Amino acid sequence: MNQPIRVGEKVVLKIEALANSPDGIGKINNFVVFVPYVVPEDEVKVLITEVRKNFARGKLLSLIKPSNYRVKPICASFGECGGCHWQHIDYKKQLEYKDLLIKNAFSKIEAKIKPIIPAKKIFYYRNKSQFPVDNFNKKIGLYALKSHYVVDLKECNLVLNSINDVYREIKKYLEKVNYNILNLRHVVIRGSETQGSLLVVFVLKDENLEKVESLIKYIKQKFSFGSAKDCRYNENGNSFISILCNINDKDTNVILGDKTIKIYGDGILKEVLDGIEYNFSSLSFFQTNTEQTLILYRLIKSYINDNKDSIALDLYCGVGTVALFIADKFKEIIGVDEERSAISDARDNAKINNIKNCKFLYGKVEDILVKLIRDNMSVDTVILDPPRKGCNKDVLLNLRKLNVSNLIYVSCDIATLARDIYILIEEGFRVEEIQPIDMFPNTYHIETVVKMGKQGSKKIEKEKAKMK
C-alpha cells in the first residue's frame, strides 16, 4: 500500500473507532492512523509522528468537532499522563467499546459473549500505584504514554483515596527538601480496600538508607495512627502502615529489585473477600481492583460444579486467591506460581483460613505441568490466570494430557487471550461462555473470563504416550 501521508504533515481526521490500545482510529484514503486521547466521532487535527508500511501514528493537535461521547476528564493531566486513556469518554460508551473489542477478538468462534459487567466505582478504585521520581527535574507522578518522561501529578484519580493521602504527603516532603533524596527512584503505594491499611515501598538505587530516613520518619508520624481518609486503625495493635525499602540498582524497566528491607510494620496487606482472608507481601501479586475482584471470584465459582472427588489446578495462582475461594468445591486444589513470595503467602493464607485441601507449588507452570503429567495425574478443572503475555504454548498443549474437562481462563489482555483460546480449541476444548468484567474503568484494559469444556480427541493419548 502506498502511504498517503508523511511524518510532520498535519491532517484532519474523523475518528471511526477505538483500538485495543490507548489509540483511536481514523483513516486517510483507507490508510489507518492511530491517535491517542481521541473519541469515536471526533473530528480532529492531527500531526503525523510516524509512518509505517500499513499504518501511521499521530498526535492530537486540536479538536475541530468534538464527539457527543466526550466528557470532561476530572484529571488536569489527562492527555499528558499515560496512567489512563479513556477518562474523556462517557462510561457507557467505554463499556460499549469494550464489548465491541471482545466481539472482534472472538469473531472467528461461535460463543455466547455476555455484556461486560460494569464497575460501580469508575474513579479511586486502584489499590496499587508505582510513582516514578525525577530528582533532576524535581517531579513525582506517572510516566507519559510510552515514555519515561515523568508527568508531575498532584494525585491520581484512579487510585484509592488512602493512596493519594500518602502520595500527597510524600510529594510535599520531596518538594520541601528540594528532591534531595537522590537515590530514590520510585515510590510504590499499595492499599487494602477492605481493611484500610497501607504499604509504602521506597525503591532506592543503592542501599544507602540514611538518605531516606527522615522521609520515612515523617510518613510514619503522619500515618501510623490511620489518618488517611478511607483507612481504619487496625485494632489488633498492628501498625496500620508498613514502610519498606527495595533496592534496585539495575537500569531496566523492572521497578522492584531483588532485595527488600522492612523498615516499619509487618510488611503485609490484608483483604477479606466473602469471609476469606488474604494476606500478601510487597512483591506478591494481588488484583488491582478489589471490589471487582470479588465479582470475578464469585463468577469463577459459579462456573464450577461440586467436584468433591476431583482435583483442580489454579495455574498462575498468585497468593492463592482463587484456589482458596473455590476450595470447598474440590477434593484437592494445586496452585502454581513462579514468585516465591506469592507461594509463601498462599501457604500462609491456607493456614490462616484453615483450608486443608490446597497445596501450593513454587515454580514455572510450564515445568510443573510436565511433572504432573509424568505422575499420571488426572485433573478435572483448571483455572488459568496468566500475566498479560498469556500462556506459553506448551502449557496449552499439555492441558489435555491431564484429562482436563473444564477450563476457566482469566485474562487481562484480549489479544493474547484470543490467541490462546484458538490454540485450546484446536486442542479439543470448546468455548461455553465469555464474560468480560470491567476491572479497569477509564483505561482500555479489559478483564475477561472464558469458560471452556472439552470435546474429545484421540490425539491426546498418543502425545501423552510420547512424553513417557
Ligand X SMILES: C[S@@+](CC[C@H](N)C(=O)[O-])C[C@H]1O[C@@H](n2cnc3c(N)ncnc32)[C@H](O)[C@@H]1O
Nearer Cβ to ligand X, position 33 or 300? Answer: 300
In the DSSP assignment, the letter for residue 253 is S
Give which of 378, 377, 328, 372 is closest to 353, Cα–Cα: 328
Contact 409, 420 (CB under 8 A): yes
Q: In the bound complex, what is the minimum distance in angstroms from residue 278's beta carbon to ligand X? A: 8
Give the residues lining the site for ligand X (CB under 6 A). Answer: 285-287, 316-318, 321-322, 336-339, 342, 364-366, 385-387
Query: For the sheet containing 447-454, what is the strand order?
Result: 112-113, 429-437, 447-454, 406-411, 381-384, 307-315, 330-337, 358-362
Residue whose Cβ sits closest to ligand X: 318
Helix axes 91-105, 414-426, angle to 10 degrees: 30
Q: What distance in Å separates the CA atoms of residue 459 and residue 401, rounded to the nearest whole number?
A: 9
Between residues 366 and 463, which has the closer beta carbon with respect to ligand X?
Answer: 366
- Give the nearest distance from C-beta 392 to ligand X in angstroms: 7
What are the catalytic residues? 412
The set of cell numbers assigned to 394 is: 506448551
C-alpha cell at 21: 490500545
Of the pair 169, 413, the CB lying nearest ligand X is at 413
The residues, ordered by sequence, that sit 6+ positions from 368 with a Cβ below 8 Å of its Cβ are 336, 361
Identity of the residue, 345 or 427, whose beta carbon is nearer to ligand X in the bound complex: 345
Query: Burial code of 136-156, b = ≥16 C-beta within 10 A, e = fewer?
Result: eeebbbbbbbeeebbbebebb
DSSP readout, 43-68? EEEEEEEEE-SSEEEEEEEEEEE--T
In 316-428, the DSSP E strands lie at 330-337, 358-362, 381-384, 406-411
Q: In angstroms, what is the minimal distance from the CB of 99 to ligand X?
A: 22
Least distance (Å) between residue 127 CB and ligand X:
12
Residue that has been written with the C-alpha cell 513417557 in this structure: 468
Look at strands 307-315 and 381-384 and give their pairing.
parallel
CB of 366 to ligand X, least distance (A): 6
Nearer to ligand X by Cβ, of 210 and 274: the residue is: 274
Q: Which residue's CB is nearer to ligand X, number 380 or number 385?
A: 385
What would the grid cell of residue 350 be?
491456607
Alpha carbon distance 270, 22 (integer Å): 32
Cα separation, 193 vs 444, in Å, equals 23
CB closer to ligand X, 271 vs 380:
271
Min dist. Cβ of residue 319 to ligand X (A) = 6
Task: Give whichever of 342 and 379 is closer to ligand X, judged by the CB atom.
Answer: 342
State the minimum distance, in angstroms, from the CB of residue 42 to ligand X.
33
CB 367 within 8 A of CB 339: no
Q: Cite the beta strand spans of 349-428 per DSSP E.
A: 358-362, 381-384, 406-411
Single-letter residue type at 283? L
Q: Least distance (Å) from ligand X to the CB of residue 362? A: 9
